[in-house]
Amino acid sequence: MFAWTILLSLGAIWGASYMFIKVGGAEIPPFTFVEGRTLIAAGALYAAMRLRAEKFPRDLKTWRALIAMGIFNGVIPYTLITWGETHISSGLAAILTAAMPVFSVIIAHFATRDERITLPKTLGILVGFIGVSVLFLPELRRGLQIEFWGEFGIVVSAASYALATIIARKNLMGMSHVVASTGQLASTAAMMLPFSLLFNNPFALQPSPAAIFSLLTLALLGTAIAYILYYWLIENTGATRTSLVTYLIPITGVIWGALLLNEKIEIEAIVAMVLIIAGVALVNRQAAPAIRPVIASRGAAKQSP
């Protein structure tokens, strides 16, 4: 029962992350928002790493993988989601990002030797992309407005997360999840710092208490603590049960946005969510799926909003 409570809590936390991005990102520019999020989260996880008497790796090969993770599991998706949510609802962003495992299957087919596309996976890919298309149709009918590009940015972030899962599987398997997560987030923070300083003038910003609270909560609860809960589930319940959180995130993301941000739930969003979740279920039918920030530990990979 305790494990199920943790699983449901993790789904609620990651679903709420889109809401916090929506609120904080409305006042704090994307580069600075991502910089603050990753710097705070990396600091918190570094403290956990030191408590576990763990140290960073010293070999260049591992750090190249961690930097790549920082790019494809941090810089690209975090920035695009933050920017995208300035133009679309948090619930819609949660639904679109849920397509990540569909992209993972496609990339894994070409990048690995042991994960081939099968008939059920092909069906899952088609169903998932139909779900994504349902969300794009209203914007296409209106022309290529900024909302379309906001949605497109979220889809690109999902593909970036998917690529990160492959990098993690190939290069970080067996590494301590706390060390890998800290290294990835620290790499992201280091890369985002010059962008924040050059383009956002962060020291001149005056965000509201709500925006600051959203940033801090996202960094500590939605990133650092969520990573720890995720890997606790992996270690104590296995990757298969933990993968159920993939299906909870778009649902809780839509619920949080509707309840606390008064976001309207369109029929297209419901249809798309059902199709995307069905597609994810099909592509993950034959193996435990990669889940959403991506870090590898004991054969599992993970991704966060």
Enclosing domain of residue 16 = 2-301
In the numeric block, the tokens 């576990």 are attached to: 52
Query: What does residue 301 show for φ and ψ, rounded to 5 degrees?
Result: -130, 150
CA 285 to chain centre: 21
User: Taking the model in full, what pTM does it have?
Assistant: 0.91
| pLDDT at res. 300 | 37
pLDDT digits (tens, 9 = 90+) for 175-210: 888 999 999 999 999 999 999 999 999 999 999 999
Q: Is the pLDDT of residue 147 over 60?
A: yes
Three-state SS for the chain is CHHHHHHHHHHHHHHHHHHHHHHHHCCCCHHHHHHHHHHHHHHHHHHHHHHCCCCCCCCHHHHHHHHHHHHHHHHHHHHHHHHHCCCCCHHHHHHHHCCHHHHHHHHHHHHCCCCCCCHHHHHHHHHHHHHHHHHHHHHHHCCCCHHHHHHHHHHHHHHHHHHHHHHHHHHCCCCCHHHHHHHHHHHHHHHHHHHHHHHCCHHHCCCCHHHHHHHHHHHHHHHHHHHHHHHHHHHHHCHHHHCCHHHHHHHHHHHHHHHHHCCCCCHHHHHHHHHHHHHHHHHCCCCCCCCCCCCEECCEECCCC
pLDDT band at 302 (very low <50, low <70, confident <90, very high): low
Instruction: List, for residues 275-298, the tens digit of each pLDDT value.
Output: 999 999 998 775 444 444 444 333
User: How far, in Å, CA of 23 to CA of 28, rounded?
Assistant: 9
> What average pLDDT does range 74-79 have in this prediction?
97
What gap in Å lies between CA 96 and CA 291, rounded to an integer?
14
Count the domains in the chain. Answer: 1
pLDDT tens digits, 9-65:
999 999 999 999 999 999 999 999 999 999 999 999 999 999 999 999 999 999 999
Give the tens place of pLDDT for each residue, 153-165.
999 999 999 999 8
Cα(117)–Cα(149) distance, integer angstroms: 29
**Mean residue pLDDT across the chain:** 90
More reliable by pLDDT, 290 or 136: 136
Express each pLDDT in 52-69 by its tens digit. Answer: 999 999 999 999 999 999
pLDDT of residue 292: 44
**pLDDT average, residue stretch 130-145:** 85
Are 280 and 102 in contact by the 8 Å Cβ rule? The answer is yes
Of all residues in the chain, what percent carry a pLDDT higher than 70?
93
